[in-house]
Amino acid sequence: MNPEILDRLAALEQQVREFLPAALERRSNPFEPSYWIMAKVKAKAEIDRDRANMSVIEMAEIRIIGEVDDAMALNVHDQLDAARLSPAINVLIDTQGGDFAAAMRIYRAIRWHPGLRRATLGKRCMSAGVLISMACDHRVASGDTEYLMHLTADNPDPKDRWTLLRHLEAMRVLRKRDSEYLNTIADRSCADLADLAIEATKDECQSLEWCLAHGLIHEVAK
């Protein structure tokens, strides 16, 4: 190729480089409680359970049904608080997704529960619902579960004035969320981050066979 053309291409690449998202890097997600703190939480839960003057439900049900938003995050907090002495929880998930920040709060709250955590996936486990399901140690789908892992998105208000800088800032925020979302899934499933990123960009439902093969779910109920 003509050296002049190569120089022009290199100059063009340099000009647009700052606007391109950085490649996703494999990182441990920052939302996991440390092992030594969780050991203390579990020990305290066992002591409180022994001292409780009431019967304890062996496996409490935590319901995550509908849109993931701030109201749901508060509701799940209350459910988990009521189930704090239960040695196990079953998280029933049936959602098309919702707000990323609310989903992350729910994820963290479930991860801090001292008991065993099981996820039962209903008709839909999509978007933010996938992130929430990753908080559980064992994930069971039903035969007709619609499962969708995809990249995060935003819907700018058309009434607002979006300058170039505002678009760039939104891009950086979305890229940060994508990194947190996919790295959390990678941590909890042991799937390869690149495989997850490629699949997420398709923006279409994953087959349960694919989810099983990559550790996103552990079994499909018959």
**Pairwise CA distance, residues 169 & 173, whole Å:** 6
In this prediction, residue 24 carries a pLDDT of 78
Exposure pattern of 127-143 as b/e (b: 16+ CB <10 Å)? bbbbbbbbbbeebbbee
What's the CATH class of domain 31-150+161-220? alpha beta
Three-class secondary structure assignment of the chain = CCHHHHHHHHHHHHHHHHHCCCCCCCCCCCCCCCHHHHHHHHHHHHHHHHHCCCCCCCEEEEEEECCECHHHHHHHHHHHHHCCCCCEEEEEEEECCECHHHHHHHHHHHHCCCCEEEEEEEEEEECHHHHHHCCCCEEEECCCCEEECCCCCCCCCCCCCCCHHHHHHHHHHHHHHHHHHHHHHHHHHCCCHHHHHHHHCCCCCECHHHHHHCCCCCEECC
Give the tens place of pLDDT for each residue, 68-126. 999 999 999 999 999 999 999 999 999 999 999 999 999 999 999 999 999 999 999 99
**Pairwise CA distance, residues 91 & 103, whole Å:** 14
Determine which of 38-42, 93-97, 143-147, 205-209 has the lowest per-residue pLDDT on average.
38-42
Give the tens place of pLDDT for each residue, 51-79. 877 778 899 999 999 999 999 999 999 99
Please report, for the chain, the start and end positions of each structural domain, with discontinuous segments joined by +. 31-150+161-220
